[in-house]
Structure 1
């Protein structure tokens, strides 16, 4: 195989349909666009979502829902995950910097600690929010929970 011998696969490339080239071609006269109407004219472009005059889908379907502009989104981190990391890496205090370093959240995201799992060791956790069960588990294990 050489560069000058490369060709597309057989049947992959087809010739363009040559419309408007005389009656003998079978595609002369109206150039396969039918008679009259906007679609036969040059420069025609259909509006996005236009369905030929039928009520378009985006107007047939009702508006739905509400996006609260003041919603605060938290990235969840569970206690069992913190326990695993405390055991494997020997970290005893978790703060925003540690969450970013460990890849749980990006720099500007808020973190909420959730109560799935058990803590065997007392750890210090600083986060933007805690669930009630997480707070209880952290204090029961002899750790500290600080809300930022």
Structure 2
């Protein structure tokens, strides 16, 4: 027996009914009744259609503030103690070190805690106080090119 000779058991597979494609299989109207919007291809008005009036979602009042911004994976200075002082840390190191669970978010460095070693950090964003603490310890914070570009645009 060869792979190209395999066939399903007789009666175990059935072709789907191609509704609305002529008389094939279900004769004439293909199970859609006679005329009208529901008998046409692409029929239907959507789940929230209410006969032409404004939908409930658009009639309800909109309240509050929806912040549509960048959601960062946050790393504090106290979290850096698990790495060797003097090491260069980037995205992959943070994932291996267990500081980041979701690899889809950009990384932001925050100043909570103290830092003892001189680290070189490659992050997407950092607070000014975090950068100051790292540089005071003899380290360096390298922001990604996108972030540096937006910082220069703000200063200009």
Aligned to 2:76: 78
Residues 67/131 of structure 1: CA separation in 2 closer, same or farther (3 Å cut): closer
Question: Matches of 2:120 and 2:126 in 1, distance apart?
Answer: 13
Can you give the 5+ residue segments of structure 1 that lack an aligned partner in the other structure? 1-47, 49-56
SS in 2 for 1:139: helix
Question: Matches of 1:60 and 1:106 in 2, distance apart?
Answer: 37
Deviation at 1:120, TM superposition (A): 0.9
Can you give the 5+ residue segments of structure 2 that lack an aligned partner in the other structure? 1-47, 49-55, 145-156
Question: Matches of 1:99 and 1:142 in 2, distance apart?
Answer: 20
1:110 partnered with 2:106: yes
Deviation at 1:77, TM superposition (A): 0.4
Normalising to structure 2: TM-score of the pair?
Answer: 0.49
SS in 2 for 1:122: coil
Aligned to 2:91: 96
C-alpha RMSD over aligned residues = 2.7
Aligned to 2:130: 134
- 1:105 and 1:111 in contact (8 A); partners too: no
1:63 partnered with 2:50: no
Normalising to structure 1: TM-score of the pair?
Answer: 0.51
Question: Matches of 1:129 and 1:74 in 2, distance apart?
Answer: 9
SS in 1 for 2:74: strand
Deviation at 1:60, TM superposition (A): 8.8
Residues 105/128 of structure 1: CA separation in 2 closer, same or farther (3 Å cut): farther
Question: Matches of 2:95 and 2:75 in 1, distance apart?
Answer: 12
Residues 66/120 of structure 1: CA separation in 2 closer, same or farther (3 Å cut): closer
Which string of whole-angstrom CA distances, capped at 9 and with x for unpartnered residues, describes residues 78-131 of structure 1?
001112x12xxx362210111222231433210000001111110111100000
Structure 1 residue aligned with 2:115, among 94, 109, 119?
119
Give the number of the structure whose alpha-carbon radius of gyration is greater: 1
Aligned residues: 90
